Amino acid sequence: MGDGDDPAVLACVVERKELTEPMEHRTDRRAIPQRSTRWAAKAADTLAAAKLTPNQISVGSVIFAAAGAAALIASTYTDNDAARSVLLAATAVCIPLRLLLNMLDGMLAVEKGMSSPVGDIYNELPDRIADVLLIAAAGFATAGLVTAGGIDVGIVLGFTAAILAVLTAYIRSLGAALGTGSFFDGPLAKPHRMWLLMLGCLAAIAEPWLPWTPGWVLFATLALIALGSLLTCLRRLRRVTAVLRSRAQSSAEEA
C-alpha cells in the first residue's frame, strides 16, 4: 500500500476538508440508522405531544440506567437462580431503553427544534452517569469472584472499565473543543459498550447450568469493555492529534 492509500493520510485529508467547511455544514451528532426510521419518528412525535423536553428525556435515560444497575447488583445477592435470571433480564431490558432515550432526546432537540441553552450539558452528563452506573454495577455483580491481596479484582475491573468509557467521551469532547470535530469511532463507542453489556447479562442467565461459578461471564464482559474502551481512546486521540498537526502544518505552509 502506497503512502497515498494510507488510511491515516486519507483520514487527515478528510479531516482537513471538514475543518474548512462552514460550521453549519458540519455535524457533531453520532450516526444512528434508527433515527431515520418511521417508528423512531412516531416515538419522538408522541414524546413531543406529551410536552416532554429533551432534557427530561435525558434524565429518564439515567433512571433506566440506575434501575438496571440496581438489578445487576442485586443479582449477586440472591441464591435463587430464577430470581437472579429475572434481575439480569431486567438489566438487559433497561440497557436498550437507556439507549433509546439517548436517541430520542436528540431527535426532539434537533428535529423538533426543542433545544435549550443547557441542552449540551444534559446531552453529555447523563450519558456519563449512566455509563458509570451500569458498568461499575457489573463489577459489583462479580464481587468475591476474584481477589488478590484483599482487593476485589472484579470491582476494580468494573471501575476501570467505567473510567475508560468516560475517557472515550472526554477525548471526543476535547477534540470538539479544539475544533477538530467530534469523532465517534469505535471499536467500542457507547452503543457498542452497552450492547456488549446487554449480551453479557443475557449470557450470564445461563451460568447456573454451566461448568463454572456464576460471575465469570460478566467478568469477561468487563474485560472486553475495558480493552475496547482503551483502544477507542487511543484511536480517537490519534485522530485528534492528526488533525491538530495537519492544521499546524497548513498554517506553517501558508505563512
- Residue at 3 is within a domain: no
- Residue at 252 is within a domain: no
Query: In tens digits, what is the pLDDT along the chain, a chain of 255 residues?
Result: 444 444 444 444 444 444 433 333 334 677 887 887 899 999 999 999 999 999 999 999 999 999 999 999 999 999 999 999 999 999 999 999 999 999 999 899 988 889 899 989 998 999 999 999 999 999 999 999 999 999 999 999 999 999 999 999 999 999 999 999 899 988 999 999 999 999 999 999 999 999 999 999 999 999 999 999 999 999 999 999 999 999 988 888 887
- Residue at 7 is within a domain: no
- Residue at 148 is within a domain: yes
Q: What is the pTM of this model?
A: 0.86
- CA 80-83-86 angle, to 5 degrees, is 150
- Residue at 228 is within a domain: yes
Count of the separate structural domains present in the chain: 1
What range defines the domain where residue 152 resides? 35-247
Report pLDDT digits (tens) over 70-79. Answer: 999 999 999 9
Report pLDDT digits (tens) over 82-113. Answer: 999 999 999 999 999 999 999 999 899 988 88
- Residue at 154 is within a domain: yes
User: Residue 146 belongs to a domain with what CATH number?
Assistant: 1.20.120.1760
Our measurement of the distance from residue 153's CA atom to the centroid of its chain's CA atoms, rounded to an integer in Å, reads 23
- Residue at 19 is within a domain: no
- Residue at 68 is within a domain: yes
